[in-house]
Amino acid sequence: MTEILNKLYIGGQWRDASDGGSFDVLNPADESVLATVASGSVEDAMACLDAAESAFADWSARSPRERGEVLRRAYELFVKRIDDIARLITLENGKAGADATGEARYAAEFFRWYAEEAVRPAGHVGLAPATGARIVVHQKPAGMAVLVTPWNYPAAMGARKIGPALAAGCPVVIKPASETPLTMLALMPILEEAGVPAGIVNVLPSRSSGAVVGEMLADPRVRVVSFTGSTEVGRKLLRSAADNVVKPAMELGGNAPFIVCKDADLDAAADGLMVAKMRNLGEACTAANRIYVHEEIEVAFVERFTARMAALKMGNGLEDGIDVGPLVNAETRDKVDHFVRDAVAKGAELKLGGVRPNGPGFYYPPTVMTNVPDDAECLHDEIFGPVAAIQTFRDENEVVCRANDTQYGLVAYLYTRDMRRGMGIAERLEFGMIGLNRGLVSDPAAPFGGVKQSGLGREGGKEGMLEFQETQYISTEW
Ligand code: NAP
């Protein structure tokens, strides 16, 4: 097991906070203190920007191949240490071993993918139709980037930003979530060994997130803010970014519909829902939040899905054979419990679970509810827990309207055997991503992101690198 690193990482140095501040990180499985971590101040944030500024010119001037090879080495070193990283993810976040290993592999892939993308910068040359002047278009690194990440994927949400930023030539300051800063700190020795120069990646855990991020966004050297987290905080960062017109990339909340059509393969749909609902215990922006099942197949589908949920084993995520670990903190567990009580009080029927166990640990069991009424709070907010809220529908147009009736637009899932119907419905769904006969859309090679209040911009794929680049057009003739 790698040692737990608990200091700020600035300019390649491990430092205490300038004001001596610190905060505790808990193990959600037993509520014990895992580590006491330095809490970065505004002064430390400025030190991060200074370090990033000093390192920027050299890194951005290196050839794309050289940057790509550093990223490739980071991928290889990451894969070698995957078990250690996965264990740390479970320790600070609670998720079960298989989920943690899945996340660590997914995170590592962003270094491989962007090692390959680094050498394929977009650009083109054209002719101005009227004058015959040459139009030369190329991409430049956008500049210093501030990255802010959530607790639900302590490795992957950071890797999904660091990979493309470094490929594009940008230095970064990353502020991980206060519940889970340890994984990101543990990745730093890997990046160092891979050859990432001091100052190119700086990690600033901080309990004063509003102040440190706000001051960094007020500094004219910062040109990109890439945030993953709640829509509420995303709105605040967009307001702060407006002052210096900083380029925003926002991966925000979701409220994913999961639609099971009458002609769906019910076993495949139940398996797909297990992934869409239970991956990461439901603590995912992509988690199926509103489940719409055609009324004629409801009984058969619910039976299949409930049997799968009932087979899951809950416990400490570090133990073998555990599928469901604890939720990340008491607040998240209490919110999930509230959603279930509220739905049941309004008439929902409990098919499984629904009873909060006594502590220690922030556990909540796999829960299935049917006949969930439209006014249940869980249909309008992110559940972020292992609770499936099922409703029925009768007709295609009706379910498309209901699915679209939300401020969010991150991902929607749809199961049908008829691809013509599937593509037709998919195109009418107002979501940035569609899982058509799949319960998982995340892939480093694909553009991840939402529409409406789920965000701006894309991560992964070719698109992910554009978030860290600026297009320059040169008008010339020769
Ligand atoms: P959050 O409360 O928005 O926090 C996310 C990050 O923002 C944390 O690092 C947090 O720091 C920081 N933060 C909080 N207030 C801030 C402020 N005023 N200024 C600057 N930074 C601030 O979200 P969360 O509860 O950690 O994560 C869950 C949310 O993330 C859900 O809504 C989920 O849907 C969303 N999410 C979206 C995606 C996506 O790709 N669309 C992926 C994963 C998660 P502290 O921890 O120190 O408060």
Under DSSP, the state recorded for 129 is T
pLDDT at 2 exceeding the cut of 70? no
Mean pLDDT within 129-139: 97
Q: Is the pLDDT of residue 228 over 90?
A: yes
For residue range 395-406, list pLDDT tens digits in order: 999 999 999 999
- Minimum-distance ligand 1 atom for the alpha carbon of 205: 47
Is residue 188 scored above 80 in pLDDT? yes
Report which protein residue has its CA nearest ligand 1's atom 47. 178
The answer, yes or no, to whether any atom of ligand 1 lies below 6 A from the CB of 175, is yes
pLDDT digits (tens, 9 = 90+) for 143-158: 999 999 999 999 999 9
CA dist 461 and 450 (Å) reads 14
| pLDDT tens-place string over residues 280-332 | 999 999 999 999 999 999 999 999 999 999 999 999 999 999 999 999 999 99
Does residue 149 line the site of ligand 1, with CB under 6 A?
yes
**Confidence (pLDDT) at 122:** 84
* Residue 62 buriedness (CB in 10 A; 0-12 / 13-18 / 19+): middle
Report which protein residue has its CA nearest ligand 1's atom 30. 229
Q: What is the DSSP pairing of strand 387-393 with strand 367-370?
A: parallel
Helix pair 42-61, 209-218: axis angle to 10 deg: 50
Q: Which two tokens stand for residue 339?
A: 């959603």
Q: Is 251 a known active-site residue?
A: yes
Q: Is the CB of 457 under 6 A from ligand 1?
A: no
pLDDT digit string, tens, across residues 3-31: 899 999 999 999 999 999 999 999 999 99
Ligand 1 atom 31: the closest Cα is on which residue?
A: 230
- Closest protein CA for atom 32 of ligand 1: 230
Q: Note the pLDDT of residue 121.
A: 79
Kindly report the pTM of this predicted structure. Answer: 0.97
> Average pLDDT, stretch 103-126?
96
pLDDT value for 478: 87
Long-range pairs for 342-348: beta carbons < 8 A, 24 or more residues apart:
342/376, 342/377, 342/378, 343/369, 343/372, 343/373, 343/376, 343/377, 343/378, 343/389, 344/369, 346/373, 346/375, 346/376, 347/371, 347/373, 348/372, 348/373, 348/376, 348/389
Average pLDDT of the chain, as a whole number? 97
How confident is residue 88, by pLDDT bands cut at 50, 70 and 90?
very high
State the distance from the centre of ligand 1 to the C-alpha of 83, rounded, in angstroms. Answer: 26
Of 285, 378, 459, 467, which is the active-site residue? 285
1 pLDDT exceeds 80? no
Question: Is the pLDDT assigned to residue 440 strictly greater than 80?
Answer: yes
Active-site choice (251, 382, 459, 467): 251
- For residue 5, report the distance from its CA to the centre of ligand 1, in Å: 22
184 pLDDT more than 60: yes
The CA-based angle 416-450-443, given to 5 degrees, is 70
- In this prediction, residue 359 carries a pLDDT of 84
Q: What is the atom index within ligand 1 of the atom nearest the CA of 454? A: 41
State if residue 147 touches ligand 1 by the CB under 6 angstroms criterion: no
Q: What is the DSSP string of 305-367?
A: HHHHHHT--BS-TTSTT--B---SSHHHHHHHHHHHHHHHHTT-EEEE---PPPSSS-----E
Q: Is the distance from the beta carbon of residue 252 to the nearest atom of ligand 1 less than 6 Å?
A: yes
Q: How far is CA 432 from CA 171, 403, 453, 454, in A?
A: 28, 13, 11, 9
What average pLDDT does the segment 29-53 reach?
A: 98
* The predicted structure's pLDDT at residue 439: 98
Q: What is the mean pLDDT of residues 351-357?
A: 97
Active site residue 261: no
